[in-house]
Amino acid sequence: MTIAENSMQRPSLTSLTRKAGAVTALALGLLVSGAYAKIDDSARYEPVAPTIDQARANILIARQLQFTHFRNLGISDELSGDVFDAYLNYLDSQRIYLTQEDIDALSRVKKHLGSALKTGQLQPGFDIYNLVQQRVIERLKFALGLIDNGIEQLDFTADDRIRVDRSEAPWEANQAALDELWTKRIKNAVLAQRLNGADDDAIEETLRRRYEGQLKRAYQARSEDAFQAYMNAFTGMWDPHTSYFSPRTSENFNINMSLSLEGIGAVLQSDNEYTKVVRLVPGGPASKQGQLQPADRIVSVAQGDEKPVNVIGWRLDEVVDLIRGPRNSTVTLEVIPANASDETITRTIAIKRDEVKLEEQSASKDVIELDRNGETYRIGVINIPTFYADFQAMQAGDPNYKSTTRDVRKLIEELKASGVDGVVMDLRNNGGGALHEANDLVGLFIDEGPTVQIRNANNDVQVLEDEDPSVVYDGPLVVLVNRMSASASEIFAGAIQDYGRGLVVGSQTFGKGTVQAVRPLNHGQLKITQSKFYRVSGGSTQHKGVIPDIEIPSRIDKTRIGEDALDHALPWDQIEAVPHARYFDFTGVIDELRNRHEERFATNPEFKLLQKEIEFLNRQRQMDYVSLNVDERKNQHNQIEQTRLTIANARRELKGEEPFEDLEALEDWQDQQAADLDNTDEELDFVIQEGGHIMADLLELDQRMASILMPTQFAAKTEAP
């Protein structure tokens, strides 16, 4: 059946969406005639309108979501309300453009959006988008007006404050209240830059450039911008990994998947008006440089020594184009760090562009020696940045093609030949990759058996198995994970844990336990979740991830990074376990292992420093408001900076380096580090050392681990891991 035929068979739905469009138009008529209708007419916003291709793509997306997505979710009035809220959250997440008056008027179409989206009637969504763009323009002009009046006119003596995160704040009642809010926003930005040493002329130039850039982007809004925003609010109802790619975004997605262009090696996504770092590509320039972090938001981009270009409000594809460039050239990013207390705090990071090479993502090994009670333990460490495979070389029949499993097999043989007492597998920050490599890697450590279960929307379950009875390594094993360990990493860690083949150490993993497929549309592509991963013990890796046997705290904010931090994430559940071997029962030694670990960390200066950093970061994250009184803000700023200096000096002392005399010395050193484009810290960190100590504890507590007992089949339990 064609799209046109299907549309003609649903006249009632079409008439309903016409009604929705009429209500939206009425709402817009009421709103635009308000107090801010009289604005500078030197430039005009041209409302965007949907195209026929977009309407057809919308119908295809609605069908795919209803009939092929893993989550069985119908398009109902309730869903309409959720789409409405998500769409407004996408367009105005901090509630700084729209008023409660706007929301009340727009709410008249709230329950009609679902029916409209079924049949490609996009006008209601476009009307909302156009209104928000008009409000954005009004707000930016208001901000520029304040700056033109002179920031010296602003009062910083009053006992005033501003809310840091407004995502759950009530909408301001009217435009007068928004004026007051935006005055506070300007004051906050000015105060933050003054405290960082900028003079008023430089501050005015920075803010004017920022808001003029955003204003220019608002006037350049395109139909595709509205369509992509609206479709992603819609698709996000099913789960956060289902999304629409416009034709241009599809091109960038395909380029990223093939890693064929040179850049910085970072996966980016739109985060309302910002571009956010999702993850770093292992072996890429940003990963090696070490300063850019997941959840950082990009404010500006500079080429070489040129002036930075503010990219707030830019489309993702345009930011990507700006960051890309020829090999060995330098791009400088101004970012709001993930742990910043508010959006006025930024840092500058210079990265030398390069090609992301497969060999730089390869597994590598090291050996650490631990002297304990007069005995020396040699521990092999294998770092796996990603699960990779050179598919082209494989298809070409190259007998020496690279893959995670082949490389790790070789590294294990080398470690065994060197006489190591145990192996630590480091999967921290490993975001996944090739599924079959995770399956094959488990096979290096077990005789044979299932490794992961995959269930589709029809409840059909496929079991991936290691069919090779040979075992490459049968000695004691520790697997290190953290919050950035995801997908294939979680499959491997979960299987090792379920088989009792080794201990998992670190922090709770990401919880990415779903599988997506990219499907072509007549206009762009749809990335849709089609199945879900389950461990051999029956529990899903989705949402919950893998819980370590021994936990090590992390600086990463779990409330902002991880599957359970995402809206509409698919829940954890379980299915039947599949029979699998159990190599070792750790229940007899796990309490003693944890006690030894805690005693060791209680006196470990690096762990104490980590705890101090985490406490400091948590205090920053928990700040709901910042003061706009200059004296109070200075005190707060000085306390934060002094804590930074104390932590930095403590770390230098641990390394045997001279402490910084003052904050200026610390900042000079940080500038030097940022300028050192090839700076990497290859030092083995204390978490790896602790993994080695846990291994030594295992060997001391149970000599059976030196030569693993042969596995015995058992009836696996079906409770959560």
pTM of the model: 0.84
pLDDT, tens digit, 9 for 90 and up, residues 288-319: 888 888 889 999 899 988 888 888 878 888 88
Strand 503-506 with 375-383, pairing: unpaired
Taking the CA atoms of residue 577, residue 579, residue 582 and residue 587 in that order, the dihedral angle to the nearest 10 degrees is 30
- Among candidate residues 157, 349, 183, 382, the one with its CA nearest the CA of residue 264: 349
Phi, psi at 571, each rounded to 5°: -80, 165
Contact 544, 472 (CB under 8 A): no
Element (H, E) at 498: helix 488-498
Contact 300, 331 (CB under 8 A): no
Count the alpha carbons within 13 Å of 195 in the hemisphere toward its beta carbon: 25
Residues 535-554 as b or e (16 or more Cβ within 10 Å = b): bbbbbbbbbbbbbbbbebeb
Q: Is 481 helix (H, G, I), strand (E, B) or coil?
A: strand
Q: Using the 8-state DSSP alphabet, how is residue 363 labeled? A: -
Is CATH 3.20.20.80 what the domain over 360-513+533-599+687-714 is classified as, yes or no? Answer: no
Q: What is the Cα–Cα distance from 289 to 248, expressed in whole angstroms?
A: 29
Show which residues are catalytic. Answer: 487, 498, 512
Contact 151, 198 (CB under 8 A): no
| pLDDT < 70 positions in the chain | 1-42, 249-262, 341-342, 356-360, 670-684, 702-721
Task: Look at residue 716 in the predicted model and tell me its pLDDT.
Answer: 38
3-state secondary structure 647-684: HHHHHHHHCCCCCCCCHHHHHHHHHHHHHCCCCCCCCC
Contact 645, 662 (CB under 8 A): yes
Contact 548, 590 (CB under 8 A): no
Report the 10 Å Cβ neighbour count for 346: 20
Domain boundary assignment for the chain: 3-235, 260-352, 360-513+533-599+687-714, 605-682
CATH of domain 260-352: 2.30.42.10
127: left (phi over 0), alpha (psi -120 to 50) or beta: alpha
Q: What is the Cα–Cα distance from 128 to 528, expressed in whole angstroms?
A: 26
Task: Look at residue 262 in the predicted model and tell me its pLDDT.
Answer: 58
Task: Look at residue 524 in the predicted model and tell me its pLDDT.
Answer: 92
Domains 260-352 and 360-513+533-599+687-714 share a fold: no
